[in-house]
Amino acid sequence: MSSPDTTDFSWWQSEEPVSFSDEVWSAMKKLGDRSWFHRLWTVQEAIMANRDSIVQSGDAVISWSLFHRAVACLLHKDEMPMARISISVMRSVAKNPTGATLAHTLDAYRARLCSDSHDKIYGLLTILPPRFASEIKPDYEQPVDELYKSCFLTSTKALNRWELRGRPRNPDEDTCPSWVPDLSEADPYGRRVSHHYASGFSALHYEYQAPNLLKVIGLRFDTVKSVSEKTFDHWDDGETAIRAIRSWEPECPLTDSYPGGGTYLDAFAATFIQDGRIERRPDEGFTLEHVKDRFKTEFLSTASTPVSKLTRGDMMEYVIWTRSKGRAMVTTERGSIGLACTFAKPGRWKAMIFRIHADSIRRCDCVVLGCDFPALLRPCEDNTWKFLSDCYVWDLEATQGLLGPLPSPWQAQLFYDPVTEERSYARYRNLETGELTAEDPRLEPLIGWQRASLEELGRDLTGDDPEVYDFFRNMEDGRIVDSDPRLEPEALKSRGVNLETFVLS
């Protein structure tokens, strides 16, 4: 949008500070605190608004499109003299999720308020993926957990992925099947572990056994050895947050070699930034070296100039806050570290990379295929498993659990789709030659299949496509799939991957 009368020509740059007065910042916070920005049913009003719509507060009027762009610009600033929370609330209602997946849309608005938990679904139906929405018929007599179960099963059928997650269920306190997402409340975690790419472009093969069982195939990764006592949540102060982070520091020297490569400082720093690293997402974020420098100078207990609190005005500190609040630091038997739910218990949980597939039941621990995030599972006495939560483990973010480490000098990178930012595609970069390719150097060449671009398919992405996507065409019969044939269960087993079957209860 053109602004011919502007006197500040560099506001669009994230590093350029905004010279608003304290009075203006305070007014923006008060605006974001208004109930309209926190109600669920206002989301559809905003999304369905046309380009002539306006926002009016008292006598002040601004076009909806200009308001939308202004909020987006402010949120991308590296530094802000106030907390970003109020502005981010305004941004969430100004987003247009058309084409977004079910998981992305529900996650974006789960914290919004409504009087009936059914409306976490029904109140958003007009903006949810078309195939999914066509299968859901409003029924306020249906128990809420049954509605959420049908949402999960409808989503997995449409996507061939496990993408839908809710607020973690503690199996010691919740009798609902652990794999059924609790969509009634906001996730206590600041940000989902998304686009983790733990299972590559593998499809979700599953078998639902009514009323409460879901059979899946996975790969055992490791057992949790310790869980931190301290954590911090959304409403805690910055002093509590930095104390918790410092209490999470590994017991060994940070210069020691990490099991997944690099050093423990590499893993510790990356765990707080996750996909916000330039090495992971070249289009945005911070270099790992920059993050490590901030830890060494400000965030560690041994920092040269330690900060007394973690703020949310500084962009890096905001990213650290949103990716670690509500979680606990866990260590595993093999020495890996990661962030998981606070009710994980040593020895009882296994990190999983799930690849879901129908098969016979076995008794074992696992790592799960078919979803892009590693998961934590708990074994039960009846040989079933409880799904706990997603988790972040640095040495699982590029399909290492299935395919092993990337050979030098390759690096796995994620890029946002140019049209729908909530979608990602993966590429592999040769750090010596600069080559960027879609082919994973750990996999053999495609036989009988070839990649198919959206242009070749003659269509755009819809909400019924996976968040992390790629398409393949069978050269014999012409069928199109959105998963890599080389990551089918039999193909993985032929590579020596020890896949096992689990029953989630």
Please report, in tens digits, the pLDDT of each residue of the chain (505 residues total). Answer: 456 566 666 776 777 777 788 888 888 888 888 888 889 998 888 877 777 888 888 888 888 888 888 887 887 777 776 656 777 777 776 666 667 889 888 988 888 899 999 999 999 998 899 999 999 999 999 999 999 999 999 999 988 899 998 888 888 888 999 999 999 987 766 566 566 788 999 988 889 999 999 998 888 888 888 889 888 887 788 999 999 999 999 999 999 999 999 999 999 999 999 988 999 999 888 999 999 999 999 999 999 999 999 987 788 998 899 889 889 999 998 999 999 888 876 655 454 444 333 333 322 334 567 778 888 888 899 999 999 888 889 999 899 989 999 999 999 999 888 877 678 889 999 999 999 999 999 999 999 999 999 999 999 888 889 887 899 999 999 999 999 999 999 999 999 999 988 899 9
Task: Specify the 3-state DSSP secondary structure of 204.
Answer: coil
Query: Angle 201-439-497 (CA atoms, 0-180°, nearest 5)?
Result: 55
* Residue 502 near residue 379 (C-beta atoms within 8 A): no
Nearest CA to 191 among 357, 25, 320, 24?
Answer: 320
CA 435 to chain CA centroid, nearest Å: 27
Give residues with Cβ within 8 angstroms of 447, minimum separation 6.
Answer: none
Query: Coil, strand, or helix at residue 257?
Result: strand
- Residues 6-33: b if buried by 16+ CB within 10 A, e if exposed: eeeeebeeeeeeeeeeeeebeebeebbe
The b/e string for 266-300 (b: 16+ C-beta within 10 A; e otherwise) is: bbbbbbbbbbbbbbbbeeebbebeebbebbbebbb
Cβ atoms of 199 and 399 within 8 Å: the answer is yes
Q: Helix (H, G, I), strand (E, B), or coil: what is residue 324?
A: helix
The reported pLDDT for the residue numbered 87 is 77
> What region, left, alpha or beta, does residue 285 occupy, with left being phi > 0 and alpha being psi -120 to 50 degrees?
left
Q: Where are the alpha helices (DSSP H) in 264-394?
A: 264-273, 288-294, 315-324
Q: Is 193 exposed, middle or buried (0-12, 13-18, 19+ CB in 10 A)?
A: buried
Kindly give the interhelix angle for 264-273 and 315-324, rounded to the nearest 10 degrees. Answer: 90
pTM comes to 0.86
Task: Give the SS3 label for residue 217.
Answer: strand
* Residue showing tokens 């600033």: 77
Q: How many CB atoms lie within 10 A of CB 203?
A: 23
Long-range contacts of 451-458 (CB under 8 A, 24+ apart): 452/480
Q: CA triplet 213, 103, 481: central angle to 5 degrees?
A: 80
The DSSP symbol for 407 reads P
Q: CA torsion 432→438→444→447, rounded to 10°?
A: -150
Task: Enumerate the β-bridge partners of residue 60.
Answer: 57
- Amino acid identity of residue 181, one-letter, is P
Place of tokens 């206590």: 188
C-beta separation of 244 from 257 below 8 A: no
Taking the C-alpha atoms of residue 157 and residue 132, their distance in angstroms, rounded to an integer, is: 9
- What pLDDT is recorded for position 367? 56
Q: What angle do CA 301, 302, 303 make, to 5 degrees?
A: 95
Eight-state DSSP code of residue 346:
T
Sign of CA dihedral 355, 357, 359, 361: positive
Burial class (CB in 10 A: 0-12, 13-18, 19+), 338: buried
Beta bridge partners of 159: none
Q: Is 442 helix (H, G, I), strand (E, B) or coil?
A: coil
| Nearest Cα to Cα of residue 351 among 283, 397, 382, 312 | 397
Q: Which of 335, 466, 320 is nearest to 393 (CA)?
A: 335
Q: Which residue has the tokens 């032929």?
A: 494
Whole-angstrom distance, CA of residue 444 vs CA of residue 422: 29
Coil, helix or strand at residue 432: coil
d(CA 91, CA 97) in angstroms, rounded, equals 12
Distance (Å, whole) CA 441 – CA 486: 13
- Parallel, antiparallel, or unpaired: how do β-strands 480-481 and 207-209 relate? unpaired
Which two structure tokens, joined as six digits, stand for 405? 């480490």
